Structure 1
Amino acid sequence: MRTPAPNLRLGSAPDSWGVWFPEDDAQPPYARFLDELAAAGYEWLELGPYGYLPTDPAVLADELARRGLKVSGGTVFGDLHTPERFEETAAQVGRVAALTASQGGGHVVLIPPLYRDEKTGAVDDVVEWDAAQWRTVHAAANRIGRQMFEEHGVRIAVHPHADTQICTQPQIEALLDGTDPESVSLCLDTGHVAYGGGDNLDLIRRYASRIGYVHIKQMDPAVLRQVRDEGLGFGEAVKRGVCVEPPAGVPDPADIVAALSGLDAELFVIVEQDLYPCEPDVPLPIAVRTREYLNGCGLGAR
């Protein structure tokens, strides 16, 4: 086992328990998720979809404290490319930022809305932004980043995601090249970068100072080929098992940990293995094996 990298903190998220929505009959109750997260040996967690965990700060703090858990950050979907939806997006991000800050978390992961319905796969938005939309996105991201830090003391990390307009490496670079480093960082999701055909290690090398938060996951190359050959949506890809536990899949998590450990930054590295929907007894053994494997790579003592 490698010595844990002192600048990296390991955590996990409701996503690794098959949680995509605030409420869904296919998802485990939040108490079971928290119990199993602690049992699997994790100390840090990301909050997941707003409303899945308690949104009353006092109730949430009690639930976490009695399990020895701490919050790394929150997660929210927000439309950056539609000017008339800016205030709505800012309000959505703000309520997640407030809850995150109430638990001592300092990061909010901001994901563009998917242009496909997560359950049906139907395309319901533009799949590429034009130059004017990119200018709108850059301005909105900068404004929200400044606002969330001023009001709540949290940093915004924009998250590339399958079936969004920020997925491929050129799109990720367009986001970073057009935004203010003081206001907007990158949530490097290693699996979604691979899903979009990007090079994680290249992004780490060239945009090291912009990486503010990390989701670590791996994708099955065989299913990725099916995605491209058949034009699959992300929901169908997940059902086919596109997300896999380490050391299977791409990118190699050991390479990612080695590259991140060399950065001059303290980073949360949050495990995400998309499992929606899954049987209730599936996530816990995977979570334990994943933690043990990543510990062996030098990621986290817990």
Structure 2
Amino acid sequence: MTSTPNKLILGSAPDSWGVWFPEDEHQLPYRRFLDELVEAGYDWLELGPYGYLPTDPEQLADEVGSRGLRVSGGTVFGALHRPDQWDEMLATTRRVAELTAAAGAHHLVFIPPLFRAEKGGAFLEPPVLGDDSWTALTRAADALGRIISEEYDVRLCLHPHADSHIQTQPEIERFLEGTDPLYVSLCLDTGHVAYGGGDNLDLIRRYPERIGYVHIKQMEPDVLAAVVAEDLSFGEAVKRGVCVEPPAGVPEIGPVTEALAGLDAPLFVIVEQDLYPCAPDVPLPIAVRTRKFLGSCGLGAAGTRIG
């Protein structure tokens, strides 16, 4: 396989250490996460859920910089399809965008809310949006993307997610076709696309200019089949091991990285293996092996700013 140094810039995220929440008794302390990230050989990190890492810019800069780490982007959750929550969502997104920019990063991964509870799997709202909600969603995405771009020099990257209203390939395509490429891009999460039955290579081929950021992960085919057969929630699927260490799952990593390397712009490719909840000693060995495997696929850790 052709090596792609500095074109696809490898990093990782708290998610790969079993972190889903700002605070949770099952999660590692953030300093241990940062120390193990360095030990695993990564130079770049995504911030993860707001409040897990320090939210004071100076403290965050010290914790990250003292370890020789750099920040690829921030993460925020919000309901674009709920106009009555716009003010609250905007305020939350501003806080995360401000911290992201202060850390020297220019990408904000935006994750829509799940229609099923992460803990317990109860349905929180219908799984399919109506046309009016879709209109509200795409208009809000454009408005939010414009605000954070103009005020913080941060780009909105919508993250398709299992058990969300942007999960399947038709939903991803509807979102892309309804939003402004100037202000909104896609965080291509290879595992979540596979979870929703989508085709990563087809999305890269047909929407190359919209791929602004990447989460790389694989899903276990037998568990994916159980998700459909047993109507499992994503939280339950994770407990059953749906998110697996490469190269054990789908999609195949090699063709995806080759396709991404063929795009015009450099890209952050951030490792995410959903491990919540997990024992404290589980993530580090997986992170080391994953970095080495992805390195064999042409993914390196070096790089400079990606605007």
Distance 2:75 2:40 in 1: 22
Q: Write the deviation string for residues 36-87 of structure 1: whole angstroms up to 9, x where unpaired.
A: 0011000000000000000000000000111110000001111100111111
Structure 1 outlier segments of 4+, above 6 Å: none
Aligned counterpart, 1:262:
262
Distance 2:123 2:158 in 1: 22
**Would you say 1:22 and 2:31 are equivalent positions?**
no
Aligned counterpart, 1:63:
63
Distance 2:178 2:273 in 1: 30
Distance 2:188 2:233 in 1: 21
Distance 1:255 1:240 in 2: 27
**Would you say 1:207 and 2:207 are equivalent positions?**
yes
Aligned counterpart, 2:278:
278
Distance 1:82 1:124 in 2: 14
Aligned counterpart, 2:294:
294
Give the Å deviation of 1:4: 3.0
Distance 1:253 1:277 in 2: 25
Aligned counterpart, 1:231:
231
Distance 2:29 2:4 in 1: 32
Q: Write the deviation string for residues 74-128 of structure 1: whole angstroms up to 9, x where unpaired.
A: 0111110011111111111111100010010000000111111111110011211
- Provide TM-score, normalisation by structure 1: 0.99
Distance 2:19 2:301 in 1: 25
3-state secondary structure, aligned to 2:37:
helix
Structure 1 segment 104-183 matched on structure 2, within 5 A = 104-183=104-183
Distance 1:156 1:55 in 2: 19
Give the Å deviation of 1:227: 0.3
Give the Å deviation of 1:3: 2.4
Distance 2:4 2:80 in 1: 37
- Mapped contact 1:4–1:301 kept (Cα < 8 A): no
Distance 2:30 2:248 in 1: 28
3-state secondary structure, aligned to 2:214:
strand
- Mapped contact 1:165–1:171 kept (Cα < 8 A): yes
Q: Write the deviation string for residues 118-169 of structure 1: whole angstroms up to 9, x where unpaired.
A: 1111001121111111110010000000000111110000000000000000
Distance 1:145 1:152 in 2: 10
Distance 1:163 1:263 in 2: 29
- Mapped contact 2:53–2:60 kept (Cα < 8 A): yes
Aligned positions, number: 302
Give the Å deviation of 1:2: 4.8
Aligned counterpart, 1:244:
244
Note the aligned Cα RMSD (angstroms): 0.9
Q: Tell me which amino acid in the other structure corresponds to 1:124.
A: L
Distance 1:50 1:96 in 2: 7
Q: Structure 1 regions of 5+ residues with no counterpart?
A: none
Q: Tell me which amino acid in the other structure corresponds to 2:221.
A: P
- Mapped contact 1:94–1:148 kept (Cα < 8 A): yes
**Would you say 1:76 and 2:50 are equivalent positions?**
no
Distance 2:91 2:267 in 1: 26
Query: What is the aligned-residue identity percentage?
Result: 66
**Would you say 1:40 and 2:40 are equivalent positions?**
yes
- Mapped contact 1:168–1:198 kept (Cα < 8 A): yes
Give the Å deviation of 1:301: 4.5
Aligned counterpart, 2:305:
none
- Mapped contact 2:38–2:69 kept (Cα < 8 A): yes
Q: Tell me which amino acid in the other structure corresponds to 2:18.
A: G
Give the Å deviation of 1:6: 3.2
- Mapped contact 1:4–1:295 kept (Cα < 8 A): no
**Would you say 1:88 and 2:88 are equivalent positions?**
yes
- Mapped contact 1:115–1:126 kept (Cα < 8 A): yes
Distance 1:193 1:2 in 2: 25
3-state secondary structure, aligned to 1:38:
helix
